[in-house]
Structure 1
């Protein structure tokens, strides 16, 4: 099935199924599944594969507006949503290119290596920024609680590495969850003969499925528009979106790869292909920015995309939905992804993460080389309108409003605040009366927090200062007047806020020193004082020390959209 089947197809698919059985797949490496032999790439027109995703609209724009032709290329576009079939066609020489997410490409890399040909990643189109989600039943409050649960997802699809990233960041080993693999990504549009082939129907019909990876239209249906499942047709009572790629905005990268033998013999053509994709992205960017004044041209582009990606030229709203769920990276994003300029979310980083996770769940036999083409980006920048024009990160959050809301929540329900909407956390402990937090002393903690903040780029990260309550508890035992107790609590809160601000400053300095420019509004400093100690009262020296801490609490925005609306 396609990466993104959306409302057009949901209209013709019934959510109601009766007496259906789950038909799961065995998680095997693609190298054990695909038997195609390597053949020379066909001459003549170059077939360029597409998948049903917003990023591919820029490729369609480039073809429609003659950009490939101007760069000396004769191409034909072809939709191929069944990834194993796409891999086989590439091996057999039907096309030199492979189109997929980084997870899909890494799953395929071993197949090519086994056949004596390497894959080379040549271009990044987009990041998924809102189009993919993890839906859970109401008893699962945080990713850590996925341990021991059953999770449904598509095999060889776009969510394999997404889920494994969540589990790894939460510290949940993959062998501590029960993964149910399905052949389809979303609700099939064909007769399934009484079998459930996708994670969405599995979650709907089998109460033993605790969570499902799905595309956002399905996630919204399962959760009654994201408000929490009502239990009505198509939804699951109490189901919620734990997090989407609106929060995990640097996990799913969509790319093009090429066969290494073709690249060696046709480097100029492949470079022209990449150049065309960059020009197509810029052209589509301008068209999107001026669609009101260029309505006719815009309509032609999205209608053509609807025809190619969805098989229905009239499905323009669905194409617009696809575009809304992705973030084009353009020239500068490609420089960052392949060279590491200004980011940790690179080709090398994602490859390392993905292959490590795939090894643990049996999706690959071993680690595989996945190289990049090492383009001369200065040469590629020629005649590009937006090359080397990276703006400073825009503020995601209104800091004052967010702080006010957080402090109100903490004052009413500090313990609930610690869990509700929390995805992950990083703790930093400090000594009594400590006010300085050097980069060298906390480099490991800061590095972990930076990695999470980069990966979950849409999250809100609350830097919480906590104080130990032992002194106040002893004062209460001695009968200290309540006025003095209140003053001590306020003093502890003020001190914890000063520490959280100091940690935040040191962390931002740490990131800048490593060439990573972060959005300061994503990091909110608050002081909890003695409102939420880990141990109350502490009974050992170790518990006393553990209460003195600063916590980087990574919050998902899905649960807090009414309070934490990102700035435009």
Structure 2
């Protein structure tokens, strides 16, 4: 049976009812409580919520700019629904600022934090104490690039000037590692300086400003503060040039990783996206500085400078750090860990209980992340050096490392033994101080004519440079080649008075020169 047709009056009533319903809904949507409820539902439904994921991952950090990639991606320090971790992956992240070192380790042990900050250079000194928790290095967050510095009083202009001087440093910390490397680059033993142990880099700065020490290893911006408050003081060196010594990483317990691998890979992916966005945009850095200012209770300018004093590690940098790029000739996490394990042990800090790098690290987060492609996620390029000007070529070096390389009489080709000597005694320093120029000075004894010895010593120095260029992929313009011949003998052997002195004078000096 055909239905009845609506009368014009009925149609008008229906239209009025619809308009009234719409008006009612619009008014309800203006209610803050209703809007909040809708946002929560929408956010939850749009996120990639996954069964088995922890609601919140707790990350332990300190007052440092190197974690900005994660904090920026999280839209703050506290767990929140605006976080891109929440929107894109379905879980929240909470950053806990724990500046006290012991307290941060206690928080890791008792489960208050799931990921703990560490630096690979100093990590060998604490691995044994954490062994029952089976700590694993899961990813790199940054390289220090100006965040750590050594300040020195008037009259100390190069590393050799530190001999016999009092140096304030926090032992078994990144500050200590930096000092160890710098002294090695300057051919100075730790026993030749007077170490004044302090609890932290902040205390080191206070010791320097009080005049109780001649130099101190400090954090930025305390370096600038020290220079401004101590007449004649200067920054002797910083990680702007010592680019590959202090590497911040995150560590987690092995059982936590096994239970939460997929979620940790999502955390890593989001963090790397955040880091790449900061590396490629000053506006994003400014936004991140606001986030850090609130989370760290520090001035915004301080936080902006802190971000610029690090290299935020990308996915490509992590591939290099974990030794996954066969074409990479720079410093890996394993290189740094192994070297510092030996260095600290030789200084009397027992690291014999530190496990091997293979047992201490996992590459799963990095190796199984396939979505991070394109230029923004590639590794950092080497510094491009221009040809050294005459002024730079003659500039006083920061440090000098003497290496006795044996050449056969009248020859300048490197033997295999000579190459091994370079690899062991100097190449690690050249890699660690990657932003400094290298002056290579060839020297001879006094046997033979002076002019021929000068020419020969220059060819020998050039052979060393060519080896570092071809074998270790170092930039050609980074090198300054000098042939001294017999003109710069070792102190005490000025007359080449015996075979021992002649052997000492047949040497190659490696000097770090800062533009």
Q: TM-score, normalised by structure 2?
A: 0.78
Could you tell me how far 1:183 is from its partner in structure 2? Answer: 2.7
Identify which of 352, 355, 378 aligns with 2:341.
355
Q: Which runs of 5+ in 2 are unaligned?
A: 1-52, 76-81
Aligned: 1:212 with 2:201: no
Task: Name which of 465, 471, 488 aligns with 1:532.
Answer: 488
For each residue in 1:4-54, what CA deviation from the matched residue of structure 2 results, as whole angstroms up to 9, or x when unmatched? xxxxxxxxxxxxxxxxxxxxxxxxxxxxxxxxxxxxxx9642222232222
- CA deviation map 1:170-226 (0-9, x unaligned): 55554554432223432xxxxxxxxxxx1122123244x2321112332233334xx
Aligned partner of 1:154 in structure 2 is: 170
Q: Secondary structure at the match of 1:264?
A: helix
How far apart in 2 are the matches of 1:264 and 1:386?
31
Deviation at 1:357, TM superposition (A): 3.6
Larger Rg: 2
Bigger relative contact order, structure 1 or 2, given CA contacts below 8 A and separation 6+? 1
Q: 2:315, 2:378 within 8 Å by CA — same for their partners in 1?
A: no
Cα gap change, 1:365 to 1:458, in 2 (>3 Å): closer
Distance 1:112 1:322 in 2: 29
Please state if 1:508 is matched with 2:469. Answer: yes
Q: Is the contact made by 2:121 and 2:245 (CA closer than 8 Å) also made in structure 1?
A: no
- Secondary structure, aligned partner of 2:65: coil
Q: Deviations over 1:56-101 (max 9, x none)?
A: 1111111127332212332122222222111111111111110132
Give CA-to-partner distance per residue, 1:225-247, whole Å, 9 cap, x none: xxxxxxxxx21x44333321122
Q: Distance in 2 between matches of 1:442 and 1:104?
A: 29
Q: 1:503 to 1:352 in 2, by over 3 A?
A: closer
Q: What is the distance in 1 between the residues matched to 2:310 and 2:214?
A: 27
Aligned equivalents of 1:103, 1:445: Cα separation in 2: 22
1:191-202 equivalences in 2 (<5 Å): 198-202=203-207
Q: Counterpart of 1:380? A: 369
| Separation of aligned partners in 2, 1:72 and 1:423 | 54
1:223 corresponds in structure 2 to 227
Deviation at 1:336, TM superposition (A): 1.0
Give the C-alpha shift of residue 168 in structure 1. Answer: 4.6
The question of whether the paired residues in 2 share the 8 Å contact of 1:466 and 1:547 is answered with yes
Which structure 2 residues correspond to residues 434-453 of structure 1 after superposition, within 5 A? 434-439=411-416, 441-453=418-430
- Return closer, same or farther for 1:544/1:440 CA change in 2, 3 Å cut-off: closer
Change (3 A) 1:538 1:169: same
Question: 2: CA distance between counterparts of 1:437 and 1:359?
Answer: 32
TM-score normalized by the length of structure 1: 0.71
Aligned to 2:100: 82
Matches within 5 A, 1:95-494: 95-103=113-121, 105-113=123-131, 116-138=132-154, 140=156, 142-143=158-159, 146-155=162-171, 157-170=173-186, 172-174=188-190, 177-186=193-202, 198-207=203-212, 209-224=213-228, 234-235=229-230, 237-288=231-282, 291=283, 299-309=286-296, 311-312=297-298, 315-339=299-323, 341=325, 342-360=328-346, 363-364=349-350, 366-369=352-355, 371-375=360-364, 377-386=366-375, 389-390=378-379, 393-396=382-385, 398-401=386-389, 404-405=390-391, 417=396, 420-439=397-416, 441-471=418-448, 489=451, 491-494=452-455
- Post-superposition CA distance 1:270-325 (Å, at most 9, x none): 2222222112112222333xx3xxxxx6644321121112x15xx33212211221
Higher share of residues assigned helix: 2
CA RMSD across the alignment: 2.9
Q: Distance in 1 between matches of 2:370 and 2:124?
A: 28
Q: Does 1:57 align with 2:65?
A: no
Could you tell me which runs of 5 or more consecutive residues in structure 1 were left unpaired when the two chains were aligned. Answer: 1-41, 187-197, 225-233, 292-296, 410-416, 473-487, 512-516, 558-563
What per-residue deviation string (whole Å, max 9, x for no partner) do you get for residues 96-115 of structure 1? 110132245444433321xx
Shift of 1:424: 2.9
Does structure 1 residue 66 correspond to structure 2 residue 83?
A: yes
1:428–1:551 contact (8 Å) kept in structure 2: no
What is the correspondence of 1:551-566 to structure 2 with a 5 Å cutoff?
551-555=509-513, 557=514, 564=515
Rounded Cα–Cα distance in structure 1 between residues aligned with 2:90 and 2:167: 47
Decide whether the 8 Å contact of 1:469 with 1:536 is kept in 2: no
Native 8 Å contact 2:398 2:511 kept in 1: no
1:157–1:510 CA distance, 2 compared to 1 (3 A) = closer
- When residues 372 and 168 of structure 1 are mapped into structure 2, their CA distance, relative to the original with a 3 A threshold, is same
C-alpha spacing 1:545/1:353, structure 2 compared with 1 (3 Å) = closer
Is the 8 Å Cα contact of residues 331 and 387 (structure 1) preserved in structure 2? no
**Contact 2:141–2:313, Cα closer than 8 Å, also in 1:** yes
Matches of 2:434 and 2:394, distance apart in 1: 25
Question: Does 1:547 find its partner at 2:505?
Answer: yes
Distance 2:339 2:305 in 1: 29
**Displacement after TM superposition at 1:390 (Å):** 4.4
How many residue pairs are counted as aligned between the two chains? 449
Structure 1 range deviating more: 118-127 or 519-528: 519-528
1:55·1:125 contact (CA, 8 Å) conserved in 2? yes
Q: 1:58 to 1:173 in 2, by over 3 A?
A: same
Aligned to 2:45: none
Distance of 2:510 and 2:324 partners within structure 1:
24
Q: Does 1:496 align with 2:482?
A: no
